[in-house]
Amino acid sequence: MGSVPPALAGGSKHATRELTDEPPADAGGTDCFGSVEKRRQRPNLLRHAQGASVSLYESPDLSYHPTTMRKLELLLVLAAIVVSVTASANRLLSAAPTVSPEPGVPQTNTLCGKDERVIFSCPVKRAAKIVSVCASKDLTNDHGYLQYRFGVPGKIELEYPKDRQGTQVKFQYSHYFRAQFDMTSINFTIDGYEYSVFDDYNGEEKPKISTQGVSVTAPGKPKEVSFVCRMKPKADYNDLQAVLPSGQE
């Protein structure tokens, strides 16, 4: 038998355990390389780690699957389309001009524009037309304008006067009032035809009488033709007595 190397012949417990690979008497002992038990566990731990790594790749939830990938691609495409459509809609909305009502757009049951004052207006029974007296909101005796209109929205058959300058002198205002009796009229003449927009109330009659509308008397004709309102008119005669010449006789 050959001689034992000096490093091992000294009876070192460390060297003996390396050669025999046997555990020391006390399992908790350590050598210069650490616990023998821990060194023995390292190959097992490595094998467990390798096995876990392989199981991750073999997991059906994380493995590459063509159908799953196609679904993910479709979801990404749909998300991109939604983002693109939303962005385009926002650009169109921000670029669209703000639409505001035109000044000349009529109000309900009147031929007066939304920027005008309704002096008198109602739909009449005959001819299914509307009769209106309209004014600028800044109407005074020397400022603004007053106009008579007859027709339907979008198709005014008669507007008087056409020129909005000095309109006040072309109309006359009349108002008579006493208990149970109230008569108001706005009068004007067009080519010999006498017009009277009237609003009358007679509480002395039984039953009471309340009529509104416009009457027209042709030249040389003693009898007038009346167009009576089929519903209560919109009316605002406030300050007309100071704005228009008086028609009182």
Residues 177-206: tens digit of each pLDDT: 999 999 999 999 999 999 999 999 999 998
Handedness of CA 28, 32, 35, 37 (dihedral sign): negative
Average pLDDT over residues 229-248: 92
CB-CB contact of 109 with 92 (8 Å): no
Token reading at 162: 């056409």
Handedness of CA 74, 76, 77, 78 (dihedral sign): positive
Query: pLDDT at residue 3 above 90?
Result: no
pLDDT in tens, 116-174: 999 999 999 987 899 999 999 999 999 999 999 999 999 999 999 999 999 999 999 99
CB-CB contact of 112 with 131 (8 Å): no
pLDDT in tens, 22-65: 444 444 444 444 444 544 555 554 454 445 444 444 444 444 56
Query: pLDDT at residue 220 above 80?
Result: yes
List phi, psi (to 5°) of 79: -65, -40
Query: In what order do the strands lie in the sheet containing 155-160?
Result: 155-160, 146-152, 130-136, 116-123, 234-235
